[in-house]
Structure 1
């Protein structure tokens, strides 16, 4: 599988649009503070109408959230899209959606958690995006994490990440990061990517160990893990077992469901819903060392 096309580097003066493709916005202070960080780098920020609306647990009705995405993606002056928050809802707006009919020019799309569906859908048409903090979490990132994201979209290379190696040797492949729960619900749908030659990177939040077990078992039964070259695991935040109930820990579940695949695996990398959410480019070539626990970003910038 070839690397996805990485959008052209951002430069001061470029226009970035803010959309809310998923859940209703609640963290207004953090949202505004994150916007100011982007503005401090010289970017023009335009907030889409209705971003602060809500429709149940969604940011607005599907057609309105889809229109936000279409408007931003088709705008020739817009160079990137910043997602307000995760939650749930991005898969709903991908029904009857076609990236290429809305625009043929690659531009940045930045987010994580529920935004996984958009990142993976864009990967399916050969365009790279960034699995990185949304606007409700970006301001709370440590300085190194903020700089990592800002550097990557500005065309600079980023450092390798170090975690806990489970063994399995060294492989190269195309990085495909995302939230485990959202990614699992793409299996068997038209949004499911081709996993040939892919290095998966998973994280999750507030999922009990038995739920993690159920999802990973679905991945095993689907047969797609035989196409995958390696797996990276980030934070599984607030995924502790319920009290006073017999359970495995989430670490035990991950080892049990993934440890026998015979491929390089690295855990405990600093990305996900915890205190550190290192930006991970989607669809770029990486090198995974399962023995040393290192993820290197070796893909060329296009």
Structure 2
């Protein structure tokens, strides 16, 4: 393992897991129904108070949301922390988290979208492998897709994940082979980390990108910012996830989202696969951020070389 990278312990039947809302407030009743999915996996669920709180568009004040997340990491009975939903607000609590305590009490941390900011912060400050996976609000929308459910299996035993063209319509934006630890997530949130103490580190990393509801010119702006900050050229390779509802609305004359992404990724010249069902998609392929993987643009495969959890 690279110095500082920590794999959390795997889950087992009977373990207690916590559900917290570090960003926006959500549908408490829907999330409670969705928690039954975790219970079917043999887990005991503890619901955080933030699921009942509202402070503008946030699930309680910053200090309250941060305190609950800190408390869940410090509680020896809680073996994993699942985020209820994204929305907005994760970045506001990053300065309030106890990264030394998180590092000393490594456990599974799971979420995506706005939670990307916390993935970047925890990965950089605590060195913990975290999980980019479907949140409880996603599981509340009906019976989850089998592939989405299958993603939770990697939390119960060390698994070497693999995705290929037989699993998804993958396309190579750039051929070749790259090795590196996975970093990234939601493009909007990655751009928002720049210039902060939690700035995404892409050096020698395979960078995951996904987003939702951003017009092509906005994607262009954010990718241009990452490019000029040296974040794209520093990467070893790229995984391009789902860019849902990212068509032009305001501007009649426009590139497509795919054209914008291809422009910047090809300019970076690093092996890159697009078309992965990662992000605001159904199904949602869950992946361990910080774990080592190989991307083969020629074969059209992404193969993890180490699991996200330890026995």
Give me the TM-score of the superposition, normalised by structure 2.
Answer: 0.92
Contact 1:86 1:112 in 2 (8 A): yes
Q: Which residue is equivalent to 2:92?
A: 92
Structure 2 residue 143 is matched with structure 1 residue 157: no
Contact 1:138 1:146 in 2 (8 A): no
Shift of 1:257: 1.8
Q: Which residue is equivalent to 2:248?
A: 241
Q: Which residue is equivalent to 1:198?
A: 205
Shift of 1:102: 5.6
Contact 1:166 1:293 in 2 (8 A): no
> Secondary structure in 2 aligned to 1:51?
helix
Shift of 1:259: 1.2
Contact 2:184 2:200 in 1 (8 A): no
Q: Which residue is equivalent to 2:35?
A: 35
1:96 & 1:25 partners in 2: Cα distance?
Answer: 22
Q: Which residue is equivalent to 2:167?
A: none
Alignment of 1:88-127 (within 5 A): 88-101=88-101, 104-124=104-124, 125-127=126-128
Pair 1:83–1:244, CA change in 2 (3 A): closer
Q: Which residue is equivalent to 2:26?
A: 25
Contact 2:103 2:127 in 1 (8 A): no
Give me the TM-score of the superposition, normalised by structure 1.
Answer: 0.94
Pair 1:289–1:81, CA change in 2 (3 A): same
C-alpha root-mean-square deviation of aligned residues, in Å? 1.7
Alignment of 1:181-260 (within 5 A): 181-242=188-249, 245-260=252-267
Select which of 262, 278, 286 maps to 1:279.
286
Shift of 1:130: 0.4
Q: Which residue is equivalent to 2:129?
A: 128
Greater mean alpha carbon deviation, residues 80-89 or residues 257-266:
257-266
Structure 2 residue 61 is matched with structure 1 residue 61: yes
Pair 1:102–1:254, CA change in 2 (3 A): closer
> Secondary structure in 2 aligned to 1:200?
strand
Shift of 1:52: 2.1
Contact 2:28 2:51 in 1 (8 A): no
> Secondary structure in 2 aligned to 1:269?
coil
Shift of 1:293: 2.1
